[in-house]
Amino acid sequence: MLARNRSYFGAGGLGYYGVEVDNVSQDGTEFDLTLTFKTGVRYCCIERGCHIPLHNGWLTKVREELRAAGIEDMPLMTIRKLHVVVEQGAVVDDLNHNPCPHGSRQEYDRGPFHEA
């Protein structure tokens, strides 16, 4: 799903974001997710909600993708922790859409996020 994200300046695709799934529960319904904005890669912003809109049915879309892959009847999912990493040198657009390298590494956690 994230590989299909495209910015207004055309960037995106496989490997655009760093994505890691960890600490998956035995039934696969609970997990931690790390989203990394990578050094040298240009992004429209570093707002997690812009890239992974968890409050706008994102987990429901994940479920649809799983269903299309043949995974059915899965209980509701929970992202226990979303860990966001902005690497130093990730390129972020300013308000005038000028690319600017991010000056320092930034990390934060949010969650949990439950599928509605």
Q: Where are the domains of the chain?
A: 2-114
Encoded amino acid at 100, one letter: C
Contact between 39 and 90 under an 8 Å Cβ cutoff? The reply is yes
Mean pLDDT of the chain: 92
* Per-residue pLDDT tens over the stretch 64-83: 998 999 988 889 999 999 99
8 CB-near residues (< 8 Å, 6+ apart):
44, 97
Q: Is the pLDDT of residue 35 over 90?
A: yes
Contact between 46 and 92 under an 8 Å Cβ cutoff? The reply is yes
Angstrom distance (rounded) from CA 21 to CA 5: 18
Q: Is the pLDDT of residue 108 over 90?
A: yes
Q: Of 6 and 101, which is predicted with more confidence?
A: 101
Angstrom distance (rounded) from CA 13 to CA 108: 24
Q: Is the pLDDT of residue 100 over 90?
A: yes
Q: pTM here?
A: 0.89
| Candidate from 9-13, 15-19, 39-43 with smallest mean pLDDT | 9-13
Q: Alpha carbon of 97 to those of 86, 93, 106: distances in Å?
A: 18, 5, 21
| Candidate from 21-35, 49-63, 91-105 with smallest mean pLDDT | 49-63
Q: What pLDDT, on a 0 to 100 scale, did the predictor assign at position 9?
A: 84
